[in-house]
Structure 1
Amino acid sequence: MAATRLMALHIVRDRTLAESLKERMDYTEDELKTEQKRYISTYGCDIETADEEFLLSHREYHANVRDIRKKEIIAYQIRQSFKPGEITPEKANEIGYELAMRFTKGDYAFTVCTHTDKKHIHNHIVFNAISMDGKKKFRNFYYSGIALRRISDILCFENGLSIIKPAPYAERKKKGRYSRTKNYTDKKLEFIKDIESKVLTGKGRGYVNWAKKFNAKQMAKTILFLQEHKISSYEELKAITDERSGKVRQLMDSMKAKEALLAENKKYQKAIVDYGRTRKTFVAYKKSGYSKKFYAEHEAELLIYKAAEEVYKNAPGRKIPPMQELRDEYGRILAEKKAEFLEYAQIKKDMNEYLIAKKNLELLYQQEEEKKEREGRDKRTRNSHQKDVL
């Protein structure tokens, strides 16, 4: 289990940018807290000169991109605290490094200092606000804290650690602290807990065989997905996927029907234009007594006229609507088709996550059934042997 927090580090009042960086780095690298800097790792910098390297990136950025602003953000700090007794300092530092790498995508230099001076082992991750190439600055987007927590939860799950489950809003205390009323049960949380216990059981004997069927990272995402969408059972998940699959098929059929209408409309518009453009040529051909010489000289136009005439003959009532009416209809159908496509694309995008979650649960429960079947066969075999002995 790990709690995370993302904080922006500003230039300290009455201090320079360099002094502010050094002050923050000195605290996180404290030898007493990191056991003589034993539990420290870095990316894109050296721990002894990290503040100076951060400063060089800042100078390059401010010289080429823009000047220093008031309340300038110089770096960001991530605090990642683990449950007491659940992890070693070495593993905590390894997870902290992976968290920083995934969150910054390798674009920003960072240091990971694991502190062991408290009951709970915790990481202080400081990453530069300026990219390593000195060309861009990290954007602290609106849901960055949620994204950070999600990555941390996935890493905890991958490494067999527990995950914090937020209490329902009505049960939360002030200042974001969570509590549970006595004997409280939540069907949704029990469902998630059941899945987690099944997955974590595979971490023991027979894990190699289990790992062949499951991707731990994908399963972690599935559990978080179920939590976020408040799905309380496999049946509920299946109902959602079935409903969305039906909607996708309905939209596809509707779009195909509209494509056919658009093609027919376009054919009529083309026939009107071609007929009007080649009508005079056909009249002249008719006046020539259907002369072969005239036909040879104007064959292309006469063939176009003939094709347009066929469209008129095959139209309902041998009549094509006026051009303006056709254009208005074409625009209306096209707008409806575009709206359906946008809806189709969104449902398809969301549905992929639901389908992945559904497939992972099916594999998980299939494994459970296979395990029960094997245990049943072993039990029957033992009973059979005992009867033979008697």
Structure 2
Amino acid sequence: MAATKLIAMHQNKGRSVMRCLKDRTDYAMNGEKTDEGKYISSYQCNPELVDLEFAQAKKEYLYKTWRQPKGDVIAYQIRQSFKPGEITPEEANKVGYEIGMRFTKGKHAFIVATHVDRAHIHNHIIFNSTNLECDRKFRDFWFSGIALQRLSDIICLEHGLSVIPKVKPSERQRRTKYPERVSIRDVIREDILKCLNQKPADFEELLKLLQAEGYEIKRGKHTAVCGKEQKRFIRFRSLGEDFTEENLKKVIAGEKEPPERNEKVPDRKEAKPEKRKFDLVVDIQEKMAQGKNGGYVQWAKKYNVKQFAESILFLQQRDIHDKETLDTLVDGSSAKYHELMKSIKDAEEKMAANKVIKTHIINYAKTRETYIAYRKSGYSKKFYEAHRDEITLHKAAKEAFSKLLDGKIPKVKDLNEEFARMFSEKKAAYSEYKKIKKEMRDYQIAKQNVESFYAAQQSWDIEEDMKKKRQQAR
């Protein structure tokens, strides 16, 4: 099941065409949303240079036709959202690519970026408004959205996916209750209550607790706070009567009851893990052998010292003070990483097999009547040639059923439930896999940097000893 939407992308006021294209394509190909670019495909363009190629096509169009329509559309975007648990990212990207090819008839370059950062997998298909020959533009015709949805339904059926059932407008359910919006002040109040639960000794300690939560404090006649997502400071007195400095001091002193929690404020999401502040050191001798000059060597020495310091700080923060502990953590994280990777691969193989069997069941049901007619015709060659594709699909399905272990053909509903279960398990394992992968890489880099540091230290000590011996010999 997939919901689609066609969006015309215009040039923003005060921005160049190139800038607008880059902003849109960069968002679509965001590494955090596409698993570091794993789920990106393209047609007749390079994803890394797509904004340049689209802009160049527009220049060629202007040169060939001398036409520049008012309110020109620079590109079109198709958003395609799938039902949670029904499809894998790989399959979703294939479906999106097929949508792009069939909707544009292969006449426009496009990229397909599959986002996996939400509960529902969805595609962003961006295609150039100028065709490949650079002599025509895509014409957004009447009811193009309906045509796109029908094409999406056809492709979903071909891939064994469900489609959105058609419902009369009078029978459609309307959402009458909308979720309440949570303001920045609501979040600040919630964090203040969280800090008050830690029983600070005075108002100054409360401010320190807020700083630990990521707030910036501005002291003065009216104390104010500023969070990470805020642009300006907000004074305590603007948070409400219960959150003024005077009343908060009374709450801390026990002279007043703390304010009640606002139930509409959701639980705060876990902060994303900080990006590693260090990387592998540079092999200066190797770079010098490649022809790097003295300026590069000076930079590399400073860079390596910084990496050594950050690596040592990383290990101290995790209470690692000896090589044995570090080796144990590296080996443990590596074993866990390979175990999770194997479980993800197994889940993907089972999901692929599930998909194949479901496709065969659907093909068998579609071609059953044709095959019965073929059998009644006495396996006529003329009938076979006229219905070759249907008969081939039917025979392939029967052969696949014969290879089932228990010989029993499962129901499509059971396969969908099994697929959803395996997909949720894979998603949970993949979340842990990314965390362990980062942890393993951090430990490995820190270990390698520390070993390089001590090896360099030993070579420096040996050089110093040699210099002292030469001086004594003189």
TM-score range, shorter-chain basis?
0.3 to 0.5
TM-score normalized by the length of structure 2: 0.38
TM-score normalized by the length of structure 1: 0.46
Structure with greater Cα Rg = 1
